[in-house]
Chains A and B, each alone.
Chain A
């Protein structure tokens, strides 16, 4: 009997201890909000070895999920890697801390070009540090798709490949494909254009094999589909020689597309800004950045990286995006309240899928 009582008492005491436990274990932990497979885990180990700081990663699959978490009043994250338009919205909302570049001497390795481009969404370059960049495009399996059919967004709307098309399950990316195809801006707030694009997607929905995000890589490697809307980095991952599929290829449609920049930012509520800056600086070290690039396969804006890359990445066309391709592309902008137009269109698409 006494035993049971003591167990119960111990439990009550343990329960009381919890808040204390939580606070003490978090003093040397950086909470990082990231995309899946977007940071080489060995670098977390390495960083811990060097500084004693643990990186606690939480992953999401869309900018919208990220925004939701970062805009919460009790945002618990110290570091995050949202894309351009999300950064813009976060800055507008006053959710990001100004970064102290004195703590990040390695910023010198970032290509000047990208610092200039980031000024488009981070006007004074005070809040964000470029992490990776890339373009939205189409990955296809060369054994299943006619060479004559490639080149345009029309490929995603080609009913010849019914049941072999993968759509990307993310609101702005899917809409961007449909908008570009019609020659509209990917940042349009014209309701008619948005509706037209949504209708185009709804019309094609029966022909899609699936709406996927991260798994599109394995699905394409396994040959489940012939065509997929992907980020260039995911295409590189899927073509990679060890476990990838060498029949896969990638192109940026001639009508233009989206160019994106994923940036490291520090939420304004973070109490560990110094540590976060320390980690950012660590990731910008060319050797570290190169190691990370060989893991994530997204194009690095770091000038020191190209020389250190292996043979595959050095020659991969989806990794080495040409200036010509970049010129065709447009960056996503934060649409403010007009995002509601997209949300409504998205709800309509979701309902059409459910039918």
Chain B
């Protein structure tokens, strides 16, 4: 028996049917009308101002989320990587554990915390005397996306930093580099693969989420995911929904390409999480 054959069921049935065909359907719905090729929907998406604002909102929220996660997450991963291995293993569980909880439940927790009569508002009220309106704002959505995706940033960073060869750092020290120099010239470049896989793991889901903005945005924060969901599930308009979905894929591909380029320029092999 040739071992190659073991992959045939997947390559000849599963992959074409369940991975390639669905994507072709999206493409078909976006570019065909009554069986004829059309760019009508593409035009509709770009010429009317109905859909683009939600796209900008999504990109903006995803960018801020990714940046904040990186800023919060990098030091966490770095500190963990400098700790005694056994202790770090235990402490790192604390940061990874929320990943195992349902994301909707974690978002739900913030809905409760940010409520007008919730804990945070009460604390702020006690301190400053005014009662803030936190729920149903872009800030609420941002807090939840950062909270939900932070573990996805910490984990790849931590894995990369932990695997890093300590001798590089020692060598840099021996050669007279200061702490800051060691970090910027040695540690940071070596951790680029982790940064990249962290960024992708946060940016893509943050950009396409619709559940989080629905739950905490109170209909005031419109993200592209929500528009696609509404088009398909409510207005029964798979054409525009599919066009927007394709737009989303293109955006993801562009961001991945940029990431790959950064990665290549750094000459590293590319970090994988698993």
Complex A–B touching at CB under 8 A: yes
B233 touching A68, Cβ below 8 Å = yes
B220 touching A353, Cβ below 8 Å = yes
Complexed CA–CA distance, A62 and B115 (Å)? 25
Q: Which of B49, B117, B219 contacts A351 (CB 8 A)?
A: B49
Q: Which of B166-208 contact A (CB under 8 A)?
A: none
Interface string of B124-138 (1 = CB under 8 A from A): 000000000101100
Q: Which of B54, B115, B133, B234 contacts A354 (CB 8 A)?
A: B54
Closest to A167 in B: B219
Closest to A72 in B: B236
Set of chain A residues within 8 Å of B235, measured between Cβ atoms: 64, 68, 343, 346
A222 touching B234, Cβ below 8 Å = no
Segment at the B interface, from A19-27, A153-161, A209-217, A307-315: A209-217
A210 touching B116, Cβ below 8 Å = no
Set of chain B residues within 8 Å of A209, measured between Cβ atoms: 133, 136, 218
B236 touching A71, Cβ below 8 Å = yes
Given the interface pairs A68-B236, A222-B115, A350-B227, the reply to whether A210 lies near B50 with Cβ below 8 Å is no
B28 at the interface (CB under 8 A from A): no
Set of chain A residues within 8 Å of B218, measured between Cβ atoms: 209-212
Set of chain A residues within 8 Å of B51, measured between Cβ atoms: 347, 351
Given contacts A223-B117, A350-B227, A354-B56, 4 further A-B contacts (CB under 8 A): A68-B235, A71-B236, A347-B50, A355-B53
The interface size bin for chain B is: 20 to 34
Given the interface pairs A209-B218, A350-B227, A354-B54, the reply to whether A224 lies near B233 with Cβ below 8 Å is no
A212 touching B116, Cβ below 8 Å = no
Q: Please give the residue numbers on chain A whose beta carbons come within 8 Å of chain B beta carbons, in ascending order.
A: 62, 64-65, 67-68, 71, 163, 167, 169, 208-212, 222-224, 343-344, 346-348, 350-355
Q: How far is the CB of A60 from chain B (nearest CB, A)?
A: 9
Q: How far is the CB of B178 from chain A (nearest CB, A)?
A: 47
B57 at the interface (CB under 8 A from A): yes
B117 touching A222, Cβ below 8 Å = yes
A210 touching B136, Cβ below 8 Å = yes
Set of chain A residues within 8 Å of B222, measured between Cβ atoms: 350-351, 353-354
A354 touching B53, Cβ below 8 Å = yes
Closest 5 CB pairs of A and B: A211-B219, A210-B218, A354-B53, A354-B222, A347-B50
Q: How far is the CB of B272 from chain A (nearest CB, A)?
A: 25
Complexed CA–CA distance, A167 and B218 (Å)? 10
B230 at the interface (CB under 8 A from A): yes
Set of chain B residues within 8 Å of A212, measured between Cβ atoms: 218-219
Set of chain B residues within 8 Å of A222, measured between Cβ atoms: 115-117
B234 touching A210, Cβ below 8 Å = no
Complexed CA–CA distance, A62 and B233 (Å)? 10
Set of chain A residues within 8 Å of B135, measured between Cβ atoms: 210, 224
Set of chain B residues within 8 Å of A351, measured between Cβ atoms: 49-54, 222
Set of chain A residues within 8 Å of B230, measured between Cβ atoms: 350
Interface centre among A344, A354, A355 (most CB of B within 10 A): A354
B236 touching A67, Cβ below 8 Å = yes
Set of chain A residues within 8 Å of B115, measured between Cβ atoms: 222, 224
Complexed CA–CA distance, A343 and B230 (Å)? 11
Complexed CA–CA distance, A212 and B233 (Å)? 17
Q: Which of B231-268 contact A (CB under 8 A)?
A: 233-237
Complexed CA–CA distance, A351 and B47 (Å)? 13
Q: Which of B36-56 contact A (CB under 8 A)?
A: 48-54, 56
Given the interface pairs A62-B234, A222-B115, A224-B116, the reply to whether A350 lies near B54 with Cβ below 8 Å is yes
B219 touching A210, Cβ below 8 Å = yes
Set of chain B residues within 8 Å of A223, measured between Cβ atoms: 116-117
Complexed CA–CA distance, A355 and B234 (Å)? 22
Set of chain A residues within 8 Å of B48, measured between Cβ atoms: 347
